[in-house]
Amino acid sequence: MGRTAALNDRTWLGWLLLGGIVVASFDLLFATTFWHLSNEVPAQRILQAIAAGVYGKASFDGGARTAWVGASLHYFIAIVMVLVYGWAARRWTRLIEQPWFFGLLYGGALYVAMTFVVVPLSRTNTLQFHPLWIGASIAVHLLIGLLCAGFARKAVHSISARHPAP
């Protein structure tokens, strides 16, 4: 790999990592605000609930340590979400040519995957039915899909800017 290709890959990856951090922060801000306002749940408990995917109920007895594990897992998952979209967008340009359509579609797919695959396969307890949370979560995941599409578009365009078409 030449120097220019390595620089392009670093720039592309940098945009996607930044996107993952933005997505994770946005989602965490949403979740902590929602649960604080609706049930006065502290932020640490939200992060421990994420860590419960690994530790089960024991995560709630782990204090700050399991909260940090939950935060790390949350940011890792969000970065992977953006990386997957960015990787696909490098190969299928329609994803960045129509970011509104495919971003919303991706956000919907992320909601379905997280709600019906990831969470049930984790060690987290079964979630209770909360209509407002479900509606808000769907809306937030649609926005997350748009963020993934936006950062992937920026990442792919950063490569194109360095290598204009002949």
Residue 153 has what pLDDT?
96
- Structural domains in the chain (count): 1
- The pLDDT of residue 166 is 45
Q: How crowded is residue 9: how many other Cβ atoms within 10 Å of its Cβ?
A: 12
Mean pLDDT by 10 residues, the chain (166 residues): 62 96 98 95 95 92 97 98 97 96 98 91 74 96 98 90 52
93-106 exposure pattern, b = at least 16 Cβ within 10 A, e = fewer: eebbeebeebbbeb
pLDDT of residue 129: 78
Domain extent for 23: 3-162
Task: Please report, as a single letter, which amino acid is at residue 145.
Answer: G
